Each structure stands twice: as C-alpha cells, then as structure tokens.
Amino acid sequence: MEILYNFLYQLIFTVGVIVVFGLLITLCRKAFYKIVGENASKIIIATGIIGTPVHELSHALMCVVFGHKITEIKLYQPDSDGTLGYVNHSYNPRNLYHQIGNFFIGIAPILGGSGVIFLLMYLLVPGIFSEVVDELKFIPLISFNLFKASTYSASLQIFWDIVEDIFGFTNTGSILWWVFIVLSFMIASHMELSTSDIKGGFKGFLFIAALLLIADIIMYFVSMPALEATTSALTSFSFIIIGFLAIAGIFAGITVLLAFVIKAVIAGIEKIKNR
C-alpha cells in the first residue's frame, strides 16, 4: 500500500496536475463553441493569428528539447477542416527519452501558453504581476490532502484573489492592461489540446508512469525514507506547476464568460438588422 500511495501522489502532483488543467481548458473551449454557436469558428480563426503560432511553437520547442525531428511546421494556415496550424515530427520509438518527450510535446501548448501569458503580464502590467506572484507564494502553505475540503477551498480562495488582482476595476483605465487582456484571451483560446496532441501525450504518460512505479518499487525495498522524500519533493514541485498553470486556467474560464457577452452582442446586432 505504501508503494501505491506514494506512486499515486507522485503521479497526481506532477503529470496529473497538468492533465487536470488540460481538461479544464478543453471544457472551456467546448463551452465557448456551444454558447457562441456558428460564429465561434470565425472568432477562433481571428484569435488564431496570435494564439495558433504560440500553440505550434510550444510543440516545436518541446520537439527540440526532447530530440524529435521536426519534418514540417505551419504556424498559421487555416484549412477548411478547421486546422489552423500543425507541427509534424518524427522520433526513434526505441529511445526512452524520445518516448517520454511525447508527453511534454503533447501538452506543450498548455505550458507554452501559460509561459507567454506570464511573460506578457511581467512586461505589460508589472504591478499586477507582482501582486499575482505574492498570491502564488501562499500555495506552498496549503496542506495538500486530496481527502480534505480545506485543500480545495484554500486553493479556490487563492485563485479568486488572483482574479481580483488581474480584473480589478482600477486596472481598466490602463491601455497596456487592455492589450494584455486581449493578447492573453487570444492565447488562452488556443491552448486546447487536439486529438493528436492527446494521443501523443498519452504515450509519453505511460512511459513516465512506468518509470515512476519502477523507481518507487526499488526505493521501497532499498530505503523507505528515500521514497517518502521523493514524494515530498515532487509534491513541492507541483506547487510551481499549479502556480504556473493557474493564470492559464483563469483566462480559459474568462473565455466562457466572454462567450456570453459575444452572444449577447451578436443577438443585439441581429435585432437591429431586423428592424
């Protein structure tokens, strides 16, 4: 049971955290399409001018990091089938490093998009950036117990404080704030993982899970303190991941709220035309 307990915690607080945010972003994208309706595709194509290159360059960067060969790349080329861009790559299936890389290449748009949004915040609205960083410092203070409601309530409180920092009314008078919001929305609306991203990422996930389990079994029999220390270290590392992805998750949620606004505006325009 100790092996299973540590293995699950390690998995949940590393790749599991990324998967959860990936699912959240995907659900927000689907909700955006459902709320806005047939006009959603036009908006996605327009925002893709910024969002798609960030998405594809994130894939490409991870390909380079994990030694995959990029055979073809299109940063922004809308097709009739809805594809806005793509990165084709090849790798050696016998190379363990390449196989693990499949996971990070697959989820790269989430990490890359989050990183660019953070960078834009730092460059365009440094005051807000400092406030958000201060909020994120509280994440390590949370006692992460998956079976305690306090874990989730404390996390939600921090996320809500970040929302207030970013979207406070005092910020709306700044042109740079509006530039940051628009660019972040364009990026966040294209962090969704495609079917091919998920398939490729799942292959890498299996290799990562297998390696963790093997390592845990070895440490269990060699040194139990080492196993516990590894779990603690990986859990602490997850604080960085959570903080890094928090902003992306918030902006993905904002896209849903914007969908209602866009729907109302479109409905208003249609009423005016029909008069």
> Residue 182: pLDDT above 70?
yes
Average pLDDT over residues 15-33: 82
Is the residue at 146 inside a domain? yes
> Residue 103: pLDDT above 90?
no
CA-based nearest residue to 262, from 75, 4, 44, 99: 44
CA-based nearest residue to 56, from 182, 198, 190, 185: 190
96-106 and 195-222 helices cross at what angle (nearest 10)? Answer: 130
Helix runs in the chain, H state only: 2-11, 17-36, 40-65, 96-106, 108-124, 126-136, 149-167, 175-188, 195-222, 224-274
Of the listed ranges 91-95, 108-112, 176-180, 218-222, the one predicted with least confidence:
218-222
Is the residue at 68 inside a domain? no
> Residue 49: pLDDT above 60?
yes
- State the pLDDT at residue 151: 62
- State the pLDDT at residue 45: 87
pLDDT digits (tens, 9 = 90+) for 239-265: 667 777 777 888 888 888 888 888 887
Contact 99, 204 (CB under 8 A): yes
Tell me whether strands 86-90 and 69-74 are parallel, antiparallel or unpaired.
Answer: antiparallel
Residues 152-161: contacts with CB under 8 Å, at least 24 apart = 155/242, 158/246, 159/246, 159/249, 159/250, 161/135
Average pLDDT over residues 65-92: 87
- One DSSP character per residue, 114-127 reads HHHHHHHHHHH-HH
User: Using 50, 70 and 90 to split pLDDT, how confident is the model at 146?
Assistant: low
Is the residue at 55 inside a domain? no
Contact 250, 166 (CB under 8 A): yes
> Residue 120: pLDDT above 80?
yes
Is the residue at 70 inside a domain? no
Number of domains in the chain: 1
| Rounded Cα–Cα distance for residues 48 and 84 (Å) | 7
- State the pLDDT at residue 166: 85
> Residue 218: pLDDT above 60?
yes
Is the residue at 264 inside a domain? yes
Is the residue at 85 inside a domain? no
> Residue 141: pLDDT above 60?
no
Of the listed ranges 20-29, 150-159, 215-224, the one predicted with least confidence:
150-159
Is the residue at 63 inside a domain? no
User: Using 50, 70 and 90 to split pLDDT, how confident is the model at 213?
Assistant: confident
- State the pLDDT at residue 145: 59
> Residue 92: pLDDT above 70?
yes
Is the residue at 139 inside a domain? yes
User: pLDDT over 70 for what percent of the chain?
Assistant: 90
Block residue for tokens 């925002």: 47
| Rounded Cα–Cα distance for residues 125 and 165 (Å) | 11
Helix runs in 168-223, H state only: 175-188, 195-222
Contact 225, 162 (CB under 8 A): no
Q: What is the pTM of this model?
A: 0.81
User: Cβ atoms within 10 A of the Cβ of 224, count?
Assistant: 13
Rounded to the nearest angstrom, the gap between the alpha carbon of residue 57 and the centroid of all alpha carbons in its chain is: 15
> Residue 58: pLDDT above 90?
yes
Average pLDDT over residues 140-148: 59
Range of the domain at 38: 2-47+108-274
Write down the mean pLDDT value for the chain: 82
